[in-house]
Structure 1
């Protein structure tokens, strides 16, 4: 019950915000509706009475619309209380019908006279004074022959029937309007949930990568320090920069692409330390506008995958080729790595980073990206294009 109550309150808040954003649309539509409705009463009554009837109808219909949209539907249908909703509609319509009756400025005698003379209205017809000084514009059609009974047109009164049909129409429109708003609200909730899941998965990937990478990097730095290598201070600075990127910058929504490139370069430097010979790498970052902003960790997982599951340690047969271009809001990236013959990875986490990138691309750049992954027996290749504008 607490959860349902919370959901209903949240739904009301969301719908309320949507109403505020659409306020001018509501005002415009109701004014347009009033002008259309005004034409009917203006044919039969003086301007003052026609305006009053129009405002009365507008107020009652708006009351039905917003009570149904803002109260009944969110609190009852939104919480699956269908029987209570139907009962509430009965009371609402009964109350509105009573309000419609007591606010009628014309009176039953005048409506009866209108019903008797419902023929084509001719503008030249002379005005006729109705009850209580109200002016009627009624055509003086021929009276029925003596002795012939008048047809019973007052069941229960066309104006009352027309008013009830209006109420049902407004109920239908308000329900349709609420369904559209509710559908958009649920879609936003789903997108928000998807985003939260992706962020959780990102944190999981970071927690997996940090200890493993940090352990290897520190071991390599320790080995170099034992050997008195001049690379040691430089590698310590690179490691510090990488950890800063992982801990702080990956939590930002967008970062300059240059920062991720720096992280990738530092990562490659640490990978080289483990190799006795110079690896066969062909990596081109020259055509990059470093200020283009992009979500972090969209490119790095492909490099990590290439080094982790390729055979770069085989300096004769292993290789990695990568190209990145980032200009004018467009990012073009490709990377390919060799695979050892008969290689089968036993790493259960293989592909998690790439799957995360797929989901994030679909969420962040829907319709504005292309990702093509080719996995053959001896080569693994990725091609990616992103429109960031």
Structure 2
């Protein structure tokens, strides 16, 4: 992603320089010979391009990183004044060449005013050029920092996904090892698949939808193994194209939340219903779980998980998702729509 942004920036800047050079060349060709126009444009644009590139691609990023924008403003002004002197010198050189007969006399480089006035008149164009390319570079640096910030934020959010589920499963495996070794072994094998997906696929930017769905199925199977007949679990999977890409570990929190807070007791059998449908670019998910009859104090960790899930969706699918959470005395419902 970083290389793509860099290549796009370089291509865009190069295109602007080519357009400016072509515009100036086309203008000068009507006033002087083709050879003189080529040499004049080359002499004018080469130092300008080098100086402006140094200003925008070296001094500006360094000033942004070190937070020394005031120092950069001073550099900007000094470089603009120096560039103006170079432009004035080039005009004078070509004027002398025309006077010496190397080129035909023209109005292009003839000094009509005092040299100081000519110098001052050249500064606005130089100011606009330098300001324009510095503005483009500043926008590029802003986007780059934003991408780094978002990537770091996503890594932090993903690191907060794993612990609660992992500790609960390992605790149940420990208990089962003392009662039912075969069942504990089965649970351990299934959980190893989940952990492998979290460790490796969770680091990818995108994964096939089929892999993410299989991860959810494994996760639900682990929960069903853990709770046995204490829970009723019903799942519906309608996937049109499992090769479509999706962000990994996107639905983890919603499934985890349902099994964590579902009603479980001798007097009542809780339930968890999961529906996932994908057709074209539309993906719909609904998770419904029963709630305990007695009110249980809210778990702060659970609230943090849902907050993280919301933030990930805002970062990964801005303006391309809708998340609805409904709750009443009997059930807790989560509905999520995503445009892939």
Could you tell me whether the CA contact under 8 Å between 1:255 and 1:293 is conserved in 2?
Answer: yes
Of 100, 113, 116, 1:132 maps to 100
Q: How many residues align?
A: 333
Q: Secondary structure at the match of 2:236?
A: strand
- Correspondence for 1:218: 174
Shift of residue 328 of structure 1? 3.1
Q: Structure 1 pair 352/72, CA: closer, same or farther in 2 (3 Å)? A: closer
Q: TM-score, normalised by structure 1?
A: 0.70
- Correspondence for 1:185: 141
Query: Which ranges of structure 1 fall in alignment gaps of 5 or more residues?
Result: 1-12, 111-129, 139-152
Of 298, 317, 323, 1:371 maps to 323
| Aligned: 1:253 with 2:205 | yes
Shift of residue 349 of structure 1? 0.3
* Aligned equivalents of 1:301, 1:168: Cα separation in 2: 57
* Aligned equivalents of 1:281, 1:315: Cα separation in 2: 17
Could you tell me whether the CA contact under 8 Å between 2:264 and 2:292 is conserved in 1?
Answer: no
- Correspondence for 1:62: 49
Post-superposition Cα deviations, 1:66-114, rounded to whole Å, max 9, x if no partner, equal 3432344344576425257426633652464256336624548x9xxxx
* Aligned equivalents of 2:94, 2:239: Cα separation in 1: 79
Q: Structure 1 pair 206/22, CA: closer, same or farther in 2 (3 Å)? A: same
Post-superposition Cα deviations, 1:257-306, rounded to whole Å, max 9, x if no partner, equal 33443443344344345557453333212446444432222123211111
Shift of residue 28 of structure 1? 2.5
Post-superposition Cα deviations, 1:213-252, rounded to whole Å, max 9, x if no partner, equal 2111332354223xxxx75554443233333333433333
Q: Secondary structure at the match of 1:349?
A: helix
Shift of residue 322 of structure 1? 1.7
Of 69, 89, 95, 1:101 maps to 89
Q: How does 1:299-338 map to 2 (within 5 A)?
A: 299-313=251-265, 316=268, 318-338=270-290
- Correspondence for 1:80: 68
Q: Secondary structure at the match of 2:162?
A: helix
Query: Which ranges of structure 2 fall in alignment gaps of 5 or more residues?
Result: none
Q: Structure 1 pair 278/207, CA: closer, same or farther in 2 (3 Å)? A: closer
Question: Structure 1 stretch 180-189 or stretch 62-71: which is displaced more?
Answer: 62-71
* Aligned equivalents of 1:189, 1:240: Cα separation in 2: 36
* Aligned equivalents of 1:234, 1:16: Cα separation in 2: 49
- Correspondence for 2:114: 156
How well do the aligned residues superpose, as a CA RMSD in angstroms? 3.7
Of 349, 355, 364, 2:301 maps to 349
- Correspondence for 2:130: 174
* Aligned equivalents of 1:52, 1:46: Cα separation in 2: 10
Structure with bigger helix share is 2
Q: Secondary structure at the match of 1:223?
A: coil
Q: Structure 1 pair 277/103, CA: closer, same or farther in 2 (3 Å)? A: closer
Q: Structure 1 pair 369/203, CA: closer, same or farther in 2 (3 Å)? A: same
- Correspondence for 2:245: 293
* Aligned equivalents of 1:385, 1:333: Cα separation in 2: 7
